[in-house]
Amino acid sequence: MKKLFQLPILALLFPLPLFSPKKFTLSLTINNIQSNGDIFIGLYDSSKKFGQIGSTFRTIKKTPVSSLLKVSWEDLPKNNYAIALFQDVNKNGKLDKNILGKPIEPYAFSNNVKPFLSAPSFDKCSFVLNANQEIEITLIQP
């Protein structure tokens, strides 16, 4: 009888993995790649950090071998995310811009947002990740 009462107590002390937060996979396909150069992809989880260098939640750097590039992030918690990416054509490790601040290297944002006079906001680029998800982004050629 004593062991019968110990089982519920043990269950409370050692919760099952069923109660751990779910994690998801985000798969990204980038198309319209037309030149050489590494692609830097930033995944952001906060509007305060969006677009700031060194403030990404996760970063991927890949060298494309065709006009299409596929990458993925695993074990992501449910959250709002946004993606900003660019292709470093001249291999200097940064997105080059002209005197007016307009990018002169290929770039893109999640939701395929096309900026007008300034970089788009986190709200315009964000999406909710609450299941495994595949998204596609088209690289904007300057």
- Phi then psi for residue 117, to 5 deg, are -110, -10
Q: 17-71: per-residue pLDDT in tens? A: 555 679 999 999 999 999 889 999 999 999 999 988 789 999 999 999 999 999 9
Using CA atoms, how far apart are residues 42 and 48, in angstroms rounded to an integer?
A: 14
Using CA atoms, how far apart are residues 56 and 120, in angstroms rounded to an integer?
A: 16
**Confidence (pTM):** 0.84
Coil, helix or strand at residue 69: strand
Using CA atoms, how far apart are residues 130 and 94, in angstroms rounded to an integer?
A: 32
CATH architecture of the domain covering 22-138: Sandwich (2.60)
Q: Are strands 107-109 and 58-62 parallel, antiparallel or unpaired?
A: unpaired
Using CA atoms, how far apart are residues 8 and 10, in angstroms rounded to an integer?
A: 5
pLDDT band at 117, cuts 50/70/90? confident
Structure tokens at 134: 């595949």
Using CA atoms, how far apart are residues 90 and 36, in angstroms rounded to an integer?
A: 9
Structural domain spans, the chain: 22-138
